Structure 1
Amino acid sequence: MSTSVTASQIAAVALVALSIGYAFGARSVTSRLHAEQSKSKPTSQDEQRKPTNDVKDGEESDGDEGEVADGDLSSVKAGLLEPCKLVLVVRTDLGMSPGKIAAQCSFFDIGSTLAKIALKANSEDQLLELEGVAKSLNLCARSILDAGRTQIAAGSRTVLGIGPAPVELVNKVTGKLRLL
């Protein structure tokens, strides 16, 4: 007896297999998230200290050398398919050339396909205010301090990077800023 398999039977089996794989994958992610949330937070004062988050122009930061998060970043959860972005807020009052702006912004390049948006800030005070708001929402926020080797005075706060984080949260911080 010859058994023939129709295209509809193949499609049905493929659909069932895909559904089962998706269900197991979603369950795995959900259980992993619950396990991470149940971990206890550090209790000693040494573990709760926050280091300064400023990165000087030309310094390398690989993130593995005892760096502590800005806030409780574990409370910022992007959905599985929720879009995220990284926002770069550039001070325009410093009069940096386009090349200098590009060099400063490159310190935040994470080499991914996330949206990267460059916005204008009119002063250091505005950058500091935005950084404070971002950190109050438990978003990652970092300032770049220029080394002072070219156009800008040493220690000038040139760019603020916020994210990567869910678009909705980043927009709460930078939604009123104009594009660079």
Structure 2
Amino acid sequence: MKQAIVARADLGMGEGKLAAQVAHASLQAYEDADRQAQREWKGSGQKKIVLQANSESQLFELADRADKKRIPHAIVRDAGHTQLDPGTVTALAVGPAADDRVDAVTGDLSLY
């Protein structure tokens, strides 16, 4: 079990902003998962990987793939209090789900 969080590299987010967006995505996708997946992922160490995307459209394409495969996922839109305009799409979390299912959506992306 793992979760992949895909963050936009094209926005130039600071390290703190990036960390916050990744955390938001992780929690939201966890909440989208069923109880069995939540328990299994938590019990196996909550494995995560952070990957990069280069556009909003890329995040939505990945979210569509996850949706079609019925994998829990979440898109994050920034509130706009600091570095970004309100509603800016910053990150996508895919999973928790079995490693091979998450890889089927995000396996071709580079590490952040």
TM-score, normalised with respect to structure 1: 0.52
C-alpha deviation, 1:173, in angstroms: 0.5
Distance 2:48 2:84 in 1: 24
Secondary structure, aligned partner of 2:22: helix
| Match in the other structure for 2:46 | 114
Distance 1:179 1:163 in 2: 17
C-alpha deviation, 1:114, in angstroms: 1.9
The equivalent position to 2:75 in structure 1, one of 143, 159, 163, is: 143
Unaligned segments of structure 1, at least 5 residues = 1-83
Alignment of 1:50-69 (within 5 A): none
Runs of 4+ in 1 over 2 A off after TM superposition: 109-112
Secondary structure, aligned partner of 1:155: coil
1:26-59 Cα offsets, whole Å, 9 max, x none, are xxxxxxxxxxxxxxxxxxxxxxxxxxxxxxxxxx
| Match in the other structure for 2:6 | 89
| Match in the other structure for 2:99 | 167
Alignment length, in residue pairs? 97
Distance 1:168 1:86 in 2: 11
Distance 1:126 1:145 in 2: 14
Does residue 98 of structure 1 match 2:30? no
Where is the strand percentage greater, Structure 1 or Structure 2? Answer: 2
Point out the structure with max Rg over C-alpha: 1
Unaligned segments of structure 2, at least 5 residues = 31-40
| Match in the other structure for 2:65 | 133
Higher RCO, Cα 8 Å, sep 6+: 2
| Match in the other structure for 1:78 | none
The alignment yields a C-alpha RMSD, in angstroms, of 1.4
Does residue 157 of structure 1 match 2:89? yes
